Structure 1
Amino acid sequence: MKVGFIGTGSMGRTLIESFIESGALEPGQIIASNRTMQKVHQLASQYPGLQIATSNTETVVGSEIIFLCVKPMQFKRVVDEIEPIVQDHQILVSITSPVQILHLEDHLRCKIAKVIPSITNSVLSGATLCIYGSRIKGKDRLLLEDLLQSISRPVIVEENYTRVTSDFSSCGPAFIAFFLQKWIDAAVETTGINREQATCLASEMVLGTGKLLTEGRLTPEEVQTRVAVPGGITAEALHLLENELQGVFHQLIRATHTKYDEDLEKLNVLFNRTEVNRPQY
C-alpha cells in the first residue's frame, strides 16, 4: 500500500515520522510533495526510500490513501489541482478541522475522510479524531483505523463536534502545557525551587494522572476525591481554583469556536457552499 502526503509541514511531518517510527509504514510506502521541496528532501534524507513527488498530482497518482496536510485557505487550490486525476477507489484524508466533508465531496469523486491528529501522536499516544464521508465503506474505515491505531487511539466523532473534540485532543496539549508552565513559574518565583526539578515533577505528574484516567479508569471527579482530604491542603487549593477559574473554560470554548467559525465562513466562500455542519456549543 502506498500512502501519499500533500504537505509536509509540522503536522504532515509528524504523521510521516510517527507512522515510520511505529512500524506501520516503511519509508518506501510513502510518497510526499510540498510547496517547499527542501522539506521533502529533508524527510527523504532522514528516511531513505521515501519517495519525493515533484507535484501534488504525482502524489495522488501513486497513492491509495492521500493525507491532505495543508492550511485551510490552501485547500481549494489543491482540490482544483487534483480534481481531474483523483480516482473513485482512492481515499483522501483531510487533517484540517474547518474543512468540511461536503466541501470535498462536492469537488472530488474519491472517498473522503477527515482525521484530526495531535502532537501526542509523535510519541505514539493520544487520540486521533475520525470523521467519515458518505462514500467511505466499512473496509475503508478498518484500513484507516488500523493505520491510525499504530500511533494513537482512533475515536469516531460527528463532524458538528469537530471543534470541541479538537479542543481536547489537538489543542489540549498546548492548554495543559500552558497551565503547567504558569504553575512552574510561580513555584520557582515563590519558593526558589530548581526549575528543572519542578518541570520534571510536573511532567511525571501529568503522565501519571493520564494513566489514572485511562488505565486506572478513574473519572476526573474521582481523582480529586481520592487526593483531596476534606479540610486538607489539596481541598483548600481546589476551592481556590474553583473560584478563580469560574467561567474561564466556557470562554476558552467560545474563543476556539469563534476562530473556527471565521475559517468556516471563508471556506464556504471558496467552495461556494452555504449549508454545512455548524459546531455545537
Structure 2
Amino acid sequence: MKVGFIGTGSMGGLLIDAFLTSGALAPCDVLASNRSQGRLLALQERHPGITLGANKETAAGSDILFLCVKPLEFKSLTDEIASCLHSEQIIVSITSPVQLHHLEGALPSKIAKIIPSITHNVKSGTTLCIFGERITKKDKLELLSLLSHIGVPLEIPEAHTRIASDFSSCGPAFISHFLERWIEAAVATTGIDEALITRLAGEMLLGTGKLLTEGGFGPQELQERVAVPGGITAEALNHLRISLEGVFERLITTTHDKYEEDVGKLDALFGQNDIVRSRLDR
C-alpha cells in the first residue's frame, strides 16, 4: 500500500514521522510533495527511502492520499490533482473547515477527513475521523487500523468536528497555556526550580488523563475526591470557579466563529453557496 502526503509542514510532517517511527509504514511506502524543496529534502534526510515528487505524481501513485495544506489552498489543489485520481483511491483531508461535500464534489475518489493532534508525536491522543458516503466498511477499517498506530482513532459526526477538535487538537495548546501561567506564578512566588515544577505539572497531567480514560473517574468525581470540604484544594477550586466564569463559553464561541468563517470561504471557492444556505435554513 502506498500512502501519499501533499504538504509536509507542521502537521503533514508530524504524521509522516509518526507513521514511520511507529512502524505503521516503511519509508518505501511513503510518497510526499511540498512547495518547499527544503522541507522535502529534510524529510528525506530523516527518513531515507521515501519517494519525493510533484503533487500530481504523489496523487497518482497513492492508494491513500493525505491532503495536508491550509484550508484556502484546497480548491487550487483539488483542481490540480483531480484528473490524476480514480474512484478506488482514498483521499483524506486533515483540515477541519474543509467539508466532505467540498471534496466529494471536486474529486472522483473516496473521501475521508481526520483531525490529528500534536500528541501523535508520542503515539498518544485521539485522531478524529469523519467518513464520506463513498467510503466502504473495508476502507474504514483500513484507515482506522493505520491511525491506531499513532493514537486512538475515534469516529465522529462531521457536525461535531469543531467542538471535538477544541479538545483533541486545540486542547494541548489551551492546557499548556494554563500550565504555563500556573508555573510562572509558582516560580515567581516561591522560587521553585522551573524545570522541576514543569516536570511535576506534566506528570500530573499524564496521571489525570489516565484517571479520566482508564480509572473510571469523571471530572466532577475527580474534583470531589481531591477537594476535601473545607480544605486547601476546595478553597482554591472555588477561586478558580469564580475566576473562570464564562471563559470556556467564550472560547467555544471564538473557535466556532472562526470555523464558520472558513467554511463560508470554502463554500464560495468550491461554488457551493447553495449548500451553505440550505445548511443554515435547517
What TM-score, normalized to structure 1? 0.97
Cα distance per residue 1:172-210 (max 9 Å; x no partner): 000000000000011111111111111111111001111
Alignment of 1:14-29 (within 5 A): 14-29=14-29
User: After the TM superposition, which segments of 4 or more aligned residues of structure 1 sit over 6 Å from their partners?
Assistant: none
Match of 2:33 in 1: 33
Alignment length (residue pairs): 278
Match of 2:265 in 1: 266
- Structure-2 separation of matches of 1:178 and 1:278: 35
Shift of 1:217: 2.2
- Structure-2 separation of matches of 1:122 and 1:64: 24
**Structure 1 runs not aligned, ≥5 long:** none
Match of 1:85 in 2: 84
Shift of 1:155: 0.6
Cα distance per residue 1:217-240 (max 9 Å; x no partner): 211111111111111011101100
Match of 1:228 in 2: 227
- Residues 213 and 220, structure 1, Cα contact 8 Å, conserved in 2: yes
Local SS of the residue matching 1:106: helix
Alignment of 1:1-281 (within 5 A): 1-53=1-53, 55-274=54-273, 275-276=275-276
- Structure-2 separation of matches of 1:137 and 1:195: 51
- Structure-2 separation of matches of 1:244 and 1:192: 25
Shift of 1:92: 0.2
Local SS of the residue matching 1:173: helix
- Structure-1 separation of matches of 2:46 and 2:227: 48
**Structure 2 runs not aligned, ≥5 long:** none
- Structure-1 separation of matches of 2:212 and 2:224: 13
For residue 96 of structure 2, what is the amino acid of its counterpart? S
Local SS of the residue matching 2:83: coil
Local SS of the residue matching 1:83: helix
Local SS of the residue matching 1:84: helix
- Structure-2 separation of matches of 1:207 and 1:59: 38
Local SS of the residue matching 2:169: helix
Cα distance per residue 1:136-169 (max 9 Å; x no partner): 0000000000000000101111111100000000
For residue 123 of structure 2, what is the amino acid of its counterpart? L
For residue 37 of structure 1, what is the amino acid of its counterpart? Q
- Structure-2 separation of matches of 1:21 and 1:223: 35
For residue 34 of structure 2, what is the amino acid of its counterpart? N
- Structure-1 separation of matches of 2:260 and 2:62: 32
Local SS of the residue matching 1:155: strand
What TM-score, normalized to structure 2? 0.97
Larger mean CA deviation between 133-142 and 260-269 belongs to 260-269
Percentage of pairs with the same residue: 58
- Structure-2 separation of matches of 1:20 and 1:198: 33
Local SS of the residue matching 2:106: coil
Cα distance per residue 1:65-89 (max 9 Å; x no partner): 0000000010001000011111000
- Residues 160 and 278, structure 1, Cα contact 8 Å, conserved in 2: no
- Structure-1 separation of matches of 2:272 and 2:174: 32
